[in-house]
Every structure is written in C-alpha cells, then in structure tokens.
Amino acid sequence: MIVKKLREKNRWSQEQLADACGLNVRTIQRVESGNKASLETLKCLAAVFEVDISKLTEEITVIDKESAQWKELPWWFRANMFGVYTRRHVLMVEFFLLALGFVFLIFNDDKFGSATFFLGAYITGWIVRYGDRKEVW
C-alpha cells in the first residue's frame, strides 16, 4: 500500500512505475494490493522512490492531519481522533473498552457499567470502520 501512496505522490501511473523499475505492470499491481514482493522487486522500487527498503515493507497507518482529505472529514470523526495518529491506537482503545465491559459484567456484576463500556467499544469500532472506508489511515 505504501508503494501506491508513493506512486500517487509522484503522479505516476502503474505503467510508468513499472517502466522506471524495469518490472512488469502486474508485479506493481500485486505489490500495491498488499501481496508480498521479492527482495529484488523491493530493491528496484526503493531505488526508484529513493527510500530505504524497510520503508516499503512497513504498513503505513499514520493519519496525516494536515491533508485536505483530513480536513474534509466530519467534525465528529476529527474530534474522536484528537491525540490519535494511528489506526492501531484506536483498535487498542476498542479492545480495552471491550475488556473493561467484560470485567464489569463478570466481576462487578454491574450491568450499566458493562453496557456503557460495550457501547463505547461498539462506537469506537464503528469509527475505525468509517476511517477505513474513507482511507484515513
């Protein structure tokens, strides 16, 4: 996915990138769709983009809060992402709320407290999926 972002940043088509790398267009499509790439393919891509190979292998999930795409999102989504820059952090919050819901339900027998935590986890999960649909990460 990072390859697609770098390609789009340079305003290249898949064909242009394939020509610059000396690779097949189908290889570029496979790499952009998230399939594994060979070391030789990664070396070619890293050379063309002038980045380290490790940059190509890591999954970029950071929110760019300076982009126009971010500023077009609804206020309620941006407000929920205050202080949050990665999808992973939001997923951790969702998991933590679920765990608290189960703790309150099992150990405290507090149905209202557990329902509150479960609702928070549900809303957080909904926000994550909304971010996925809008390609925020």
Are residue 73 and residue 105 in the same domain, yes or no? yes
What confidence tens digit (pLDDT) does each residue in 93-107 have? Answer: 999 999 999 999 999
Are residue 48 and residue 77 in the same domain, yes or no? no
| Cα gap 64→57, rounded to integer Å | 19
Q: Which domain holds residue 13?
A: 2-57
What confidence tens digit (pLDDT) does each residue in 29-39 have? Answer: 988 877 778 88
| Residue 62, domain member (yes or no) | no
**Domains in the chain: how many in total?**
2
Smallest CA-to-CA distance from 127 within 74, 63, 80, 71 is with: 80
pLDDT mean across residues, the chain: 87
Are residue 83 and residue 110 in the same domain, yes or no? yes
Which position has the token pair 């952090």? 89
Are residue 74 and residue 118 in the same domain, yes or no? yes
Smallest CA-to-CA distance from 9 within 17, 66, 30, 22 is with: 17
| Residue 63, domain member (yes or no) | no
pTM: 0.54
Are residue 92 and residue 111 in the same domain, yes or no? yes
